[in-house]
Amino acid sequence: MGISSRALVSCVVLAAMAGSADADDKPVEYKRTRAGHRGLAKAFFLGVPAGIGISIGLGLYERGQYNDAVRRNDIDAANHAASMNRWVGTSFFLAGLACLPVGIVLWKMSDTVVLTPVASSSGGGASLTLRF
């Protein structure tokens, strides 16, 4: 009989909190450099043209597939091409567009990350807070 992963995580978190049972403990502050946030922000900024580019490329490909299907009178293939463009192409476009505000937030993120122990009647854990 093994230990479930949820029970194992709870044991690890509670063991980590065992030393900080005082009510007047202050949050532990970790100073972080902007290099990690900036690197991740750059990755999200690269996701903008990637997502939009995939969306445009898929749209052009599916337009060709649709035109071929219409010439062959293949209704199912035409509907499939239109559906792929509608759902997959639009999803890539929106995902690429969503990368922009995430990248901006990460680029502007402050240097301070606060880790606060949390205890309640239903269990314990930690709260991670980023200050802007």
pLDDT in tens, 2-53: 444 444 444 444 444 555 445 556 666 656 555 566 777 788 899 999 999 9
| Greater pLDDT, 62 or 17 | 62
Cβ(20)–Cβ(117) under 8 Å? yes
pLDDT confidence tier of residue 114, bands split at 50, 70 and 90: low
Angle of helix 34-71 versus helix 75-84 axis, rounded to 10: 160
Lowest mean pLDDT: which of 20-24, 41-45, 69-73, 105-109? 20-24
Q: Which of 95, 60, 96 is nearest to 81 (CA)?
A: 60
The chain-wide mean pLDDT, for the chain, equals 76
Its pTM stands at: 0.56
CA distance 96 to 48: 4
| Greater pLDDT, 56 or 40 | 56
Beta strand 112-120 with 123-130 is antiparallel
Cα-Cα-Cα-Cα torsion 66, 70, 76, 81, nearest 10 degrees, comes to 0
Residue 104 has what pLDDT?
79
Residue 35 has what pLDDT?
57
Strand order in the sheet with 112-120: 28-31, 112-120, 123-130
Residue 7 has what pLDDT?
43
